[in-house]
Structure 1
């Protein structure tokens, strides 16, 4: 009972985060979990082990100071159930497709500190503060950790308790502008909606003036600046976009966890507004519980993007088909990177290592424009916006023909009859779709040339296509149900019932009751539900008294 009361107490907090952990280095145990707050939050032994190993950089780079990076792990069934119980609302449905969290995965936002300390036997202070959440809000939570972690290192556990109480006062993470007080700061952020036009999200709708309290404005909760991260691989932008589109296995090798994680997060977002549906791990260690699953050579690599820093992976994952090696910290603005034909030199030289031949030609104008921006000293934010705009337009050019064809699978409205069953959608026929490309393909909206047909054929075999089409199928099926229910609501039941026998009327009542049940479960408008109920009552009024009694009780 006390546990349940504790959960209810942290109801608002649990909409944003699952827990905040502190991981320290123990001379006997290695990385060890020192603290989990709030105390009622439970983690399995496997999750604890994964979090402990992920909380520290998995390399011998000798990082000194503060380092931030995210991770992503599979949740155990028990943790997933706890998350469902504590977070009563599903905000996922209201977010854009590319921003939706993945059921069964937990995101971790790490703030690691390593500084010399002669008073400690090891000679170094090494500790990480980790915020766990089901929300993939990388930018927002990185800023949050920049406030929480330094306070903890200075003031101790009491500051974590205070931070959690602050978060527990926040409004739910619904789309729209939010002001989030934390440790005397105000974080202003706008969470996008599924109804927003992609690429046209305002910086912040909250314009109130705050002078007494420091204010941090975050334009978008999940985006990190794309240009400094992608600058080293600009000549291969279209190639990378294709590989992510068709969900190919990828390894990102870097010298720091921040660089690896930023590249992985940015790669995943290349095909926005399409959702990347393969697995991805911004930071992956040799101690990960799925290490054997991902490094075995006996089978083809799974559809996953791994970010790694341990030099050991250069040999262990050398058989993977696509590797990006980034040696320097992102942000240098340099775009020189050689593409190698062999994977044997991956351990030493930066580059994009792949034998994949892209179907589309690279956009040299974009590269020239961005490199000119570097020479002119154009702000990184503007460079990133230009890059994002290019990728958005490329993906939209790819999606538009698919959307147009999917819409053609809907039955004509004249075939939606109130006295018949709801008509079904035509199946997706890949050959029929490909035949439409000549007259309405991506070449109408994109200047990029290439073999679009073959790219679509590869795309149809991927989880990205399955996810997109399943989503569209659900949306169109719901729209078809609404049209059918509307037709029933507008039908002249008095005229219809006059020529029907008792059995047919009872059958129609039962069918309309099922429609009413569906309308309630799918959250249709009260107007439709009310009209359906009126039609049901009208039909029942035409039945004999004994049948009425049975129907009303059923």
Structure 2
């Protein structure tokens, strides 16, 4: 009887090893994608998920519903052929356990590119073509790549490669795709990334925290076995064509920058999800390097699980930018303070896109335009507007126009943020006041009036040259989610830096002398506090190096030696 039992154990062990291997393998896939959904139109169910790859991935019912409705344009009639756009989906299930590579990515990338624990990005490729063999007379299907990464440029290109092949060939394409993605290197900021898939080598760059650093040279790819591989180099994984999106409203770019900076509620109305998602994306990136901390939905439908939350009749709409195509929204959201209505074509726009200030807006019947009663705090920079408008007339290449606009907006945001960065750095206590034997000091509190008093001698008007009510703009900014998000991040960083400085001081302290005359309870308390701080440093909550960690362990040993044996045993059990 012993032989069968032995073979069962072997079978169990083999299965267990296989399961571990599968789990380990898909971890690399999870560095880039959560899953890929195939959404089709079912005559009885409407839009329905036909398949999810890899097959072991589960979505909650609410996530599945949102994916289904976002996977098809709200009004399919005008979307014959292929349509591409991107969406944001609120995560409804358990908090994502990031892979080690994604944790590393979040630590090293610029803050405006970090993965968001509460949301997925979805990259949609929708096809609608006439097909008499089908009951409705149309083939309607989408692939949706779901990921934590905001790499709009990269994933749009990947969708454009994979989706047409999948529509022609079927499931085997997806099996190949997920296996190849599972072999990709991690998304490491500051490097050129090489991503081979379906005979194409995608090469792109992910910036690190030094987001202005020049892109490194592309190294020779000697290790690519097939010389026939087609290469596609994307200078940016995440940037879309900002100028193309904003061309029709370019004369109001400074007003829009203020609205986005202040996290004002904005609705973008367009005829297709492609146009509205690109416009929403362009708006949120106007304030880079500041992270846009309010919510934004590049494409939003009446079936979205947050529909009631965002279309409430409350006097003040929530801080969100919505991209919509359904005419129903023109009525539902007509009370919103800022509405951008755009058409399919790219227009030079000066005459068409004037600010509308009518009290009784009928947006449904109105012409394209920016509808707002907002009065900007700052004057326009006429020089950059003149340069961009001249570029339209002379047919300057779009990438040059985008580069000009991006540089101007980045300088404007940096000029706005530099005084804030300088002031928050001044909230740090003096290093000489940090004692290894006292509680870690905390940064001083942010005082708006103290900050505003610094502006006359060190304000943004000195670096950007734009005149206006800067003080009024800062006061309004202090009430916005963008300020709250920035301040929370910076205050956390200062607190961690103070903890690191104190730990370094503690690692060099003479604890053998300190311990003399101390009671056992004080010594044990010191040991437990150092251990706790060490644990936090391993989780990267406190940024100290390996050498400091080693020295701290030595300090623990120094004072543990002075305790009675029974206490040493208890402390060793707890460690």
TM-score using structure 2 length: 0.90
For the residues of structure 1 that align with 2:514 and 2:295, how far apart are their CA atoms? Answer: 54
Deviations 1:261-314 (A, max 9, x none): 000011111111111111111111122222222222145211111101111111
Q: 1:277 aligned to 287, 293, 297, which one?
A: 293
Aligned equivalent of 2:433: 415
Gap change, CA 1:116 and 1:418, over 3 Å in 2? same
Deviation, 1:68, is 0.3
Q: Give the C-alpha shift of residue 373 in structure 1.
A: 1.7
Rounded Cα–Cα distance in structure 2 between residues aligned with 1:30 and 1:500: 74
**Structure 1 residue 321: Cα displacement:** 0.8
Residue aligning to 2:508: 490
**Aligned residue number for residue 228 of structure 1:** 244
Q: Which residue of structure 2 lines up, in the alignment, with residue 62 of structure 1? A: 78
For the structure 1 residues 60 and 516, does the alpha-carbon distance in structure 2 shift closer, same or farther, using more than 3 Å as the test?
Answer: closer
Q: Which residue of structure 2 aligns with residue 264 of structure 1? A: 280
2:263 paired residue number: 247
2:547 equivalent among 527, 531, 536: 527
- Which whole-Å CA distance do the structure 1 matches of 2:573 and 2:39 have between them? 60
Is 1:118 aligned to residue 129 of structure 2?
A: no
Query: Can you list the C-alpha shifts for 1:153-198, whole angstroms capped at 9, x where unaligned?
Result: 111111111111111110111212111011000000111112x2x3
Pick closer, same or farther for the CA change 1:514–1:10 going to 2, 3 Å.
closer
Shift in Å at residue 8 of structure 1?
A: 3.6
Q: Which runs of 5+ in 1 are unaligned?
A: none
What is the CA–CA distance in structure 2 between the aligned matches of 1:260 and 1:3, rounded to whole Å? 43
Match of 1:442 among 444, 451, 460: 460
Provide the aligned length of Structure 1 versus Structure 2: 548
| Partner Cα separation in structure 1 for residue 67 and residue 567 of structure 2 | 63
Cα displacement (A) at 1:461: 1.0
Stretch moving more, 117-126 or 528-537: 117-126
Q: Is the CA contact 1:7–1:86 (under 8 Å) kept in the aligned structure 2?
A: no
Offset at 1:492?
3.5
Measured in 2, the distance between the counterparts of 1:320 and 1:503 equals 62
Aligned residue among 186, 193, 215 for 1:172: 186
Picking from 203, 206, 222, the partner of 1:188 is 203
Offset, 1:433: 0.8
Give 1:423 shift: 1.5
Q: What is the CA–CA distance in structure 2 between the aligned matches of 1:441 and 1:284, rounded to whole Å?
A: 39
Give yes or no for the alignment of 1:321 onto 2:341: no
1:127 aligns with 2:127: no
The TM-score normalised by the length of structure 1 is 0.93
Aligned to 2:168: 154
CA distance in structure 1 between the aligned counterparts of 2:84 and 2:51, rounded to whole angstroms: 19
1:37 aligns with 2:53: yes
Q: 2:445 aligns with which of 412, 415, 427?
A: 427
Aligned to 1:374, the other structure's residue is in SS state helix
Deviation at 1:491, TM superposition (A): 2.7
CA contact (8 A) 1:422 1:484 kept: yes
**1:21 aligned counterpart, secondary structure:** strand
Query: Which residue in 2 is equivalent to 1:19?
Result: 35
Query: Given the superposition, is the C-alpha separation of residues 479 and 64 from structure 1 closer, same or farther in structure 2, using an over 3 Å criterion?
Result: same
Q: Is the 8 A contact 1:204 1:219 kept in 2?
A: no
For residues 379 and 220 of structure 2, the distance between their equivalents in structure 1, rounded to whole angstroms, comes to 43
CA 1:374–1:19 in structure 2 vs 1: closer, same or farther (change >3 Å)?
same
> How do 1:329-348 and structure 2 match up within 5 A?
329-330=345-346, 332-336=347-351, 337-342=353-358, 344-347=361-364, 348=366
Partner Cα separation in structure 2 for residue 371 and residue 53 of structure 1 = 38
CA contact (8 A) 1:250 1:322 kept: yes
Q: Quote the Cα distance in structure 2 between the aligned partners of 1:158 and 1:394.
A: 49
The reply on whether 1:140 has 2:154 as its aligned counterpart is: yes
Match of 2:559 in 1: 539
Q: Deviations over 1:21-52 (max 9, x none)?
A: 11122233222222211111112222222211
Q: Using the alignment, how far apart are the partners of 1:374 and 1:204 within structure 2?
A: 31
CA contact (8 A) 2:59 2:93 kept: no
CA distance in 2, matches of 1:207, 1:232: 41
Question: Is residue 192–residue 216 contact of structure 2 (8 Å, CA) maintained in 1?
Answer: no
Q: Which moved more, 1:389-398 or 1:25-34?
A: 25-34
- Check whether the contact 1:17–1:131 (CA below 8 A) recurs between aligned residues: yes
Question: Matches of residues 75-114 of structure 1 in structure 2 within 5 Å?
Answer: 75-78=91-94, 80=95, 83-84=96-97, 89-90=102-103, 91-114=105-128
CA–CA distance in structure 1, aligned partners of residues 87 and 377 of structure 2: 32
Distance 1:33 1:514, change over 3 A: closer
Superposed CA offset, 1:3-28 (max 9, x none): 87654442211111111111122233
Q: CA deviation at 1:550?
A: 5.8
Matched residue, 1:199: 212
